[in-house]
Amino acid sequence: MKLDIKIQKYVKLRIVKYALRENGSTDYHEGKEYLKTYDLPRDLYERKKWVMRWRTAWFQCRYPKNEVFMSLSFYDNKSGDDLELEPLLNRLVSAKRMVTKLQNAIAEYEAEREAELIWEKEYDPFYQKGLSKLARYKEQRDLLQQQADDLKARIAYRKRKAG
């Protein structure tokens, strides 16, 4: 089971108002009201944060006695997954990048050395060091791929169980 790494990062932004109790304190448990909900791409949210803060401030002015705030949650729009998978995928992408980078560097080094009259791969310390690094990164990549696949399966199981 290979994992598709293309993630569409989205933000669910809610502007929330808490109700007041009779004594004037805020009721955090019962009186929650969602005033506005936005579902935005994360890059748009990052560029237009000021608009969201302005809208929250506008609602605060409209309801001066209540506590108004923004609630954010990040998720993957493509699969609907919560982004608990994201840190693992970032490490996996990084490991894959390092494997490719090392493979390219080793191929370039081999091409340079092939032009020499005598080159023994077994006794070249730079070449051997590169190969050992490549093996280490491939092992790390395979381990991260397995962890990502396991996590993806657990998320799918939770979704099936919940829904």
For residues 98-103, give the mean pLDDT.
93
pLDDT-derived band at 1 (thresholds 50, 70, 90) equals: very low
DSSP state of 33: E
**The whole model's pTM is what?**
0.49
Greater model confidence, 70 or 6: 70
Burial 134-159 (b: 16+ CB within 10 A, else e): beebbebbeebbeebeebbeebeeee
pLDDT-derived band at 84 (thresholds 50, 70, 90) equals: low
Contacts of 15 (CB under 8 A, 6+ apart): 34, 35, 36, 37, 55, 56, 59, 68, 69, 70, 71
Residue 60 has pLDDT above 60, yes or no: yes
Greater model confidence, 158 or 118: 118
What percentage of the chain carries pLDDT values higher than 70? Answer: 87
Tell me the pLDDT tens digit for each residue of 107-146.
999 988 888 888 888 888 988 999 999 999 999 999 999 9
Which pLDDT belongs to residue 28?
74
Greater model confidence, 148 or 76: 148
Q: Are 83 and 74 in contact (CB under 8 A)?
A: yes
Q: Are 127 and 109 in contact (CB under 8 A)?
A: yes
* Rounded CA separation 127/109 (Å): 8
Residue 87 has pLDDT above 80, yes or no: no
Tell me the pLDDT tens digit for each residue of 11-47.
888 899 988 887 878 777 777 888 998 888 889 999 9
Which pLDDT belongs to residue 6?
63
Distance (Å) of CA 90 to CA 7, 36, 77: 11, 32, 17
